[in-house]
Structure formats: C-alpha cells, structure tokens
Amino acid sequence: MKKTLFFIIFALLTLVLTMNADESKKVYNIQKTYISSEETLLISETDLNCTYFIRDSMPQDIRIEKEYKPVDPRFDFSDQDRLIVNKGAKDGLKVGDQLMIIGPGRSIRGLGRYFLKKSLAEVTGVENYNSVIQLKTGCHPVNIGDFAVPFNPEKTVFAKKIDYMLARIPANAISGKIVYTDLSMGLASSISATSQYVTVDLGQGVVAKGTFLLIYRILKKDLPPLIVGLGIVVQAENTNSTMKILDADMDIRLDDAVAILPSGEEKASGTAEAEKKENIPVVDVQQVEGQEMKNAQLDEAQPAEPAGDTLTVDILFDFASKQPKGDHSQDFAAIKDFIAAKSEYLVTLRGYTCNIGDEEYNLRLAKERVDAVKGILISQYGVDAAHVESFFYGEKEPRFDNSSEEERQKNRLVKIEVNGK
C-alpha cells in the first residue's frame, strides 16, 4: 500500500514538473510602440488647404463672376488679386469674412466629383448683391466660375511618423485600396510618390484625419504582401478619403492595398505644450527591435553574440541560392543555448536579396531563404515553430546600396533576431 501511495505521489510530482517545464517557454509577446521618428509636422496647412477631395456634391452658391476693375483680360488669378463674387450683404456676407476658393472638376466614376482647394480669400468690400474678395495664401490658380465656401481653419497634426519597414499588417486589419491618384490638376495618374495625394476607398466612420495607413501590394497569391509605404489621412469623406503619402521606397500605384494601423488619438498643433507631448501608436507585436536595425551597416556577417536580452545573427547566401553560405552551425547552436536560458523568447527572421532580378522573383527568393533558415532552426536545433515569425523584404529597403558586387553580396542574407527574457 505504501509503495502504491509513493508511486502515485511520484507520478503526480513528475506531471506537475513536466507541465511547468512546458509552460516555461512562452512566446515572447509584449506590447510595444512602433519604431518611429521624432515628432514632426505630418499634416500641414498646405495639406489641409491645397489638396483635393471627392464627394457627391456640395453647395456652390458663392460664385466668382469677374475680376475687380480689370485692366487686361486674364484667366488665372493669384495672391493679392481682387475678384467679384455674386453674393453680398443681403446674403449675409460682411467685410472680414474668410473664404476658401474651390474649383470643381470632373466626375470620378464610382466615387463622386473632384473638388480642388485653390486659395483662401478675404471679403474686402460688400454691396447688397455682390462683394469684393482678395486672394491670399493661394496654391493653385483661381478662375472665373470657381466657387467659395466659408473658411473654417483646421488644426495641423504633429505626430511620430511610423517606420513602415518595421511595421506589420495587423491581424484582422480593416483594409481598402487606392482608387484614384492625383497630379493636383484633377487628372488621374497611374503612379504616385512621396508627398503626393491619393484617394482610398475608406471613408468617415472607418478613418479620420490623422489615421495612419500602411500601403502594401499583393504580387501573387502565394507570396506574402509586399509593404511599400505609409500614408496618413488628410480628409475623410462619406465613401472615400484623401491620403498623403508620407514614405515610400517605390512607386505607389492604383489598386495597391492599404491597412489601418492602430494609433493613439490625433495630436493637433496649437500650443507649445501640446507639441511636446508624446503620442505613440501602440500595437500587439511579438518582438523587440532597435531603431538602429534599419540603418545598420555591417561589413560582413557577424558571429552570434548576445547583447542583454537580444541575440542577432546574419546568415549570408550566394547569388540566387536558397541555402545558407558556409557553415553556420555555431551560430545556430548559440541560438539554441540562448533560448534555453530564457523563460520567454521569440525568433524573428528577415529575408533580403540584392537588386538583380525583378520585384516578384526577389520577394519569392527572400521567402525561400527565410523558410530554409526556419527549417534548420526547427528541425535541427529544437526551436518551436510557434516562437518564430518571418518578414520578407526582397530587394526593397536594402541594407547596402547595391552599387557593386561586393555590396550586393552583403544584401543576400537572412537576419535573425532572438529576443528573450
């Protein structure tokens, strides 16, 4: 009886110890801020007062009829020019009123009508049925036939700009796509670059001024999304929004996808104290990264050396190869030893290529290189697949400049970052 009781107690203790051992290795899952630059002016007065928007319709009661005391026939007007509008004191206008001059454009199929914010104006003289306005702070030529609406100043937005290369598409993200690109003249283009504006098919209730949107592209269904840039919503309408492209390492195109990035409340300018406060967007991620990661310039693959709670390893590859170059068994063994001493850990793999080959080929090659390294870690060194996350960059955002074969060799790598505690 005593032997039986001893055996049962021993079995229970063994079970408890086994359960504790299983629970000791947890996925390293912390909340962290996105890597971001110092707080800067992301939405300026120019962005607010000189961009376009698309909506079904809007009141166009106050119309520019003619130039005030014309000398020579003119078609375009700018700052300090004075014009006559068709509304006056009987319509409620008075000296000192501030107006926004808007030019109506063509209809955009499926979206609404294009409207371009052209200039501000001040009412300088009023009659019963017309008024004199003077243009100021203009950004586009004003024409006879343009209309005006009361000007309601908006606050600019200061915030920390997210480093989109270190961001991820959030799980269950609200997504849309770019449906119109603009050259500030009401003419669609197929490609847009940094500081230009585009329209996305996400509207009010989903996004608002200051919402960050991660821009990505689906090259093939069997390839991971290629993150190509970051945008911020300047103006939201009912069914669409005007987005400013903040950063992009390649052309932004029609039909590129966008995903809403979780962020803090909009941070508007107005007081010095407000501009000093931090407002960092926060998301759930599974890693700890340093800002220096993006700009690290290593002359060659470095041996695995832990720095506190982080271990980094660079695994190099030959041209077009999917298997690591040379013997990295010591590096992989160092990773195994590192995580064995941690109660929580996560292994992050980032795949890069040089710029030889097209965009799709290099993204696929980066994925295959990461998969090869992941397979080695799991099958040969006991790393749990649930503790591994992967990112694929291909040729974009190269760590070196690809100016020579020597530099291109350095870009053919998988960077491993192990975080634990």
Q: What are the tens digits of pLDDT across the range 166-218?
A: 777 887 889 999 999 876 555 667 788 888 999 999 999 999 999 999 999 99
Could you tell me the residue ranges of all domains in the chain?
36-44+156-285, 49-150, 286-420
The C-alpha atoms of residue 104 and residue 221 are separated, in whole angstroms, by: 40
Residue carrying the six token digits 């001040």: 122
Residue 306, pLDDT > 70, answer no
pLDDT greater than 70 at residue 105: yes
Which is higher by pLDDT, 286 or 224?
A: 224
H or E, element range at 303: none
Residue type, 401: D
254-273 tens-digit pLDDT: 999 999 987 644 455 543 33
- Confidence band for 328, pLDDT divided at 50, 70 and 90: very high
Instruction: Specify the pTM.
Output: 0.74
DSSP state string for 323-368: SBSS--HHHHHHHHHHHHT-SEEEEEEEEE--SSS-HHHHHHHHHH
Lowest-pLDDT choice from 132-136, 185-189, 222-226, 351-355:
185-189
Q: Which of 155, 146, 157 is nearest to 118 (CA)?
A: 146
Whole-number pLDDT of residue 396:
79
Per CATH, which fold does 286-420 belong to? 60s Ribosomal Protein L30; Chain: A; (3.30.1330)
| Residue 331 to residue 202: CA distance in whole angstroms | 46
pLDDT at 386 over 60: yes
pLDDT of residue 150: 97
Whole-number Å distance between alpha carbons of 192 and 252: 5
Tokens of 248: 């992009």
Pairing of strands 388-394, 344-352: parallel
- CA–CA separation, 151 and 149 (whole Å): 6
pLDDT at 111 > cutoff 80: yes
pLDDT band at 17 (very low <50, low <70, confident <90, very high): very low
pLDDT band at residue 330 under the 50/70/90 scheme: very high
DSSP H or E run through 122: strand 112-126
Q: Express each pLDDT in 129-174 by its tens digit.
A: 999 999 999 999 999 999 999 999 999 999 998 888 777 788 788 9
The CATH class that applies to domain 49-150 reads: mainly beta
